[in-house]
């Protein structure tokens, strides 16, 4: 139930793992971390963005460039 399960997945499922534990698949949500302060962890070696944007903003800029 929203807001605890905003994507509506069954049981709040966020990832799946194979029975032997060798592979895990997760669905990222880059729309939730386009700003640096939204990220739970940031690589300290990355330069700070003057607008406070996260590295994920590149995904959106590339998509916009592709659309035209």
Q: What is the spatial distance between Cα 25 and Cα 27, in angstroms, rounded to a whole number?
A: 7
Residue 2 is predicted with a pLDDT of 65
Residue 32 is predicted with a pLDDT of 86
Count the alpha carbons within 13 Å of 42 in the hemisphere toward its beta carbon: 18
Q: For 6-64, how does the pLDDT look when each residue is reduced to its tens digit (9 = 90+)?
A: 777 887 788 899 999 999 998 778 888 999 999 888 889 989 999 999 999 999 999 99
pLDDT band of residue 1 (cuts 50, 70, 90) is: low
Residue 5 is predicted with a pLDDT of 74
């Amino acid at each position: 139930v929203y807001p605890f399960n905003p994507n509506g997945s069954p049981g709040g499922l966020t990832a799946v793992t194979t029975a032997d534990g060798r592979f895990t698949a997760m669905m990222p949500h880059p729309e939730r971390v386009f700003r640096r302060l939204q990220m739970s962890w940031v690589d300290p070696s990355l330069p700070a963005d003057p607008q406070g944007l996260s590295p994920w903003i590149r995904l959106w800029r590339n998509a916009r460039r592709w659309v035209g």
